[in-house]
Amino acid sequence: MNDPSATTSVTLQPRAYGDGDASFQAAGGVEGIRRLVAEFYRQMDTLPKAAAIRAMHPSDLSGAADKLHRFLCGWLGGPKLYMEKYGSIHIPSAHAHLAIGEQERDAWLLCMERALAMQNYPQEFRDYLLRELFRPAEGCRLAATKFRETPRSRDD
């Protein structure tokens, strides 16, 4: 029978990144992601290897920073802030018109890698996030390549 004096010990395992809002929480929530995005664009502004991707943006980065911040919040499992303000987005399609090749993809990832290194995130989370961000970055490269290779009429 059950012994009322017995205690049960339950150890909760931390959720894996990508599970629910675990990544959003690991990134520091809304404010942590805001800091990450600010550092990302600081890196883009200062890294010589990022000059080509910086040139794809307007001089005032506040709009781009707002969009990336809102997108990452939802993408990491937090509130869908991008959708609330801008509606739905398919990242590769939204960037298809840009001249994104391997160098541009890698420059974007370098900015993110440097920005992640400046955050107080566990190395395991930094590595995870960079691996996951490769997917949309590569998707943008592929979409841009397809866009450039698609014949256009004179009216396009």
Q: Where are the domains of the chain?
A: 22-148
124 in Cβ contact with 80 (< 8 Å): no
Residuewise pLDDT in 10s, the chain (156 residues) = 555 555 666 555 677 998 899 999 999 999 999 999 999 999 999 999 999 999 999 999 999 999 999 999 999 999 999 999 999 999 999 999 999 999 999 999 999 999 999 999 999 999 999 999 999 999 999 999 998 888 866 665
In three-state secondary structure terms, 100 is: coil
pLDDT at 2: 59
- Spatial distance between the Cα atoms of 152 and 115, rounded to a whole number of angstroms: 38
pLDDT at 15: 77
In three-state secondary structure terms, 42 is: helix
25 in Cβ contact with 73 (< 8 Å): no
pLDDT at 96: 92
pLDDT at 118: 98
Query: 22-148 domain in CATH 3.30.465.10?
Result: no
77 in Cβ contact with 24 (< 8 Å): yes
Instruction: Quote the pTM value.
Output: 0.85
pLDDT at 5: 58
Six-digit token string for 106: 């890698």
